[in-house]
Amino acid sequence: MVKFTITAHAPETTRRNGILQTGSRIVPEEVPIAFSYGGSSHAVMMATPADLEDFAVGFSLTEGIIAGPAEISGIEVVEGEQGIDVQVSLVDDVADRLRARRRSMAGPVGCGLCGIESIEQAVRPVPDVSTSPLALSHADIVRAISLLNEAQPLHRETRAVHGAGFYLPGRGLIAVREDVGRHNALDKLCGAVIGASERGEDGAVVVTSRLSVEMVQKAAILGSPVLIAISAPTALAIRTAEEAGMTLVALVRGEDFEIFTHPHRISPGSIADVA
């Protein structure tokens, strides 16, 4: 059986103080990961080959294939020569619904796109998270990012992967997942959170990437009303978060950050609380 690893050693030549030296460094692996439902391949992503059951649950949830983990009857991870097939079994009515969805999207497309259904899916409405009572302090924002930075062993080793964490006030980060793809890391996190029977509405999603609209969509589907990032959001991400009632906190740098939507959830707090 093929055994995929999450890292590899790569030869390199480094320049330090004007001197070239040969050596090696640890880099992350990137592997084709296919998700199959009912024996049919649905999607293939390049991803880090770790936490694949969480990935399967989170991807199935954020792509609208399932409404919750109870709609999955089994997951089998099958390694091949060139990639990994994650075979997801769905309960009967959900499997029937997915087959009907596939049939409705089948057919010739002359414009070179994936059809109107795919365009609509890309800008799909997201759940309203405005009713969540979650409130965070300045100290919570700073602590969430600090804890995420500390909880990424693969990034410390390679400096080449993204991280996503779920922060609960008073408890800290209860789950962290890493991947070469920022969307993959968030999907894995979503799977881990619902697998732990935690409620998305109770906590904030924290990520090490920029905030694209897909990140807002996935966090909203999880139910989280706060999305925190070290980088900036896109305009569409801001508009989508505004409509969903989600608070976007971005560009967190030490004790400083910027709030782009629904700032009422963030209180000034005291930075002394971080310690």
Q: What is the pLDDT of residues 187-202, one digit of tens each?
A: 999 999 999 999 999 9
**Does the structure show a pLDDT above 50 at 158?**
yes
Count the neighbouring beta carbons within 10 Å of the beta carbon of residue 180: 21
What the chain holds in terms of domains, given with CATH numbers, is 31-122 (3.10.20.10), 136-274 (3.40.140.10)
Q: What is the pLDDT of residues 70-86, one digit of tens each?
A: 999 999 999 999 999 99
Q: Structure pTM?
A: 0.92
Q: Please pick, among 19, 20, 111, 235, the residue that the annotation labels catalytic.
A: 111
DSSP state of 18: T
Is residue 114 part of the annotated active site? The answer reads: no
Q: Give backbone dihedrals phi and psi of 171, rounded to 5 degrees, phi first.
A: -120, -25
Mean pLDDT of 260-271: 85
Q: What is the pLDDT of residues 145-156, one digit of tens each?
A: 999 999 999 999
- Would you state the pLDDT for residue 163? 98
CA 261, 58, 4: angle at the middle one, nearest 5? 125
Tell me what percent of the residues of the chain surpass a pLDDT of 70: 90
- Would you state the pLDDT for residue 103? 75
- Would you state the pLDDT for residue 124? 77
DSSP state of 95: H
Contact indicator for 256, 230 with CB cutoff of 8 Å: no
Q: What is the pLDDT of residues 13-57, one digit of tens each?
A: 999 999 999 999 999 999 999 999 999 999 999 999 999 999 999
